[in-house]
Structure 1
Amino acid sequence: MKAENNNSKDTQERLLVSYILSAAWFVGLGGLHRLYNGKIGTGLLWLLTGGVLGIGQFVDLFIIPNMVDEQQMRLRAKAGLSPLGVPLNQPAVAAQVYRSPQEKLTMELLRAAEKRGGQLTVTQAVMETGANFAEVEAVFKELLKSGYVKIDNDPETGAVTYHFHELN
């Protein structure tokens, strides 16, 4: 919302300056508004021909808003912003900020368990997250205490398996 307000203000200011520069035609300086809005070639032509004998200058009174919008879009694109002023080439979702390494590891474990149907062994967790066994076991113990997981042994391998009942 704030970016939109700033963009609108910038556009209004550029529009006002463009009309003021357009009025410079009355003192023999036609085309300054075109130079200001990045239209260098036609700006010089207007400057040298008195706004194409005043006809081009008059027509520009109606198209200055479009010139301003085009220039604003060019300036935003050059600055790496979208037409609305939002930064481009940014991830669609902002990177998650974690309060602690344990919180980050917990989220990684949840994602790994989700991929495996809500079940995860300590070894699988270590392989998925890159954390060491002690760190993974500490997080599992906290999740067990809080009731988010239950613990069981795999009937075939006997491996201790943590079941994330909400992810089944």
Structure 2
Amino acid sequence: MRRLIMSGVALCVVSSVEAANVQSCTVSNSAINFGIYDPLDPVSDDNNAGSVQINCKLTGTGTASVDVALGASAGTPAQRRLVNGSYFLDYNIYTKPSYTIIWGDGTAGTNTQQGTMSKAVETLSWTLYGRVPAGQLNVAPGTYTDTVQVTVTF
């Protein structure tokens, strides 16, 4: 009889760590707006923040892990570019306000971000720390833009 009780306890532990199934997810964001860039200021980087949110519906019990990668439409994840016609401004997106770890796709020295979900409906949120380095002189007046692709892997 003692052996049956121990088997039942072991089965309960195993079933509590099963992965939940991700039924559906939506991704939303708040854009990083760098404002006005001054090419004549050789010292002050232009920093600002945005965010990305992932809202998922889960089925089953347990947890679901997500991995969030950021691509680049101009440049590479290791060195992104804001574009205005044939002109560009180098910039990047970082995982922390220290601006030391580039948030990318896991290649060329970039990192992705991870999270774990355990509720039937859960939202995870990350802050995007953007920086345009000072001292970029070959720029023209106008609006510079880039579109960053967010890839979520379960």
Query: With structure 1 as the length reference, what TM-score do the two structures score?
Result: 0.20
Structure having the higher strand fraction is 2
The structure with more radius of gyration: 1
Query: With structure 2 as the length reference, what TM-score do the two structures score?
Result: 0.21
**RCO higher in 1 or 2 (8 Å CA, sep ≥ 6)?**
2
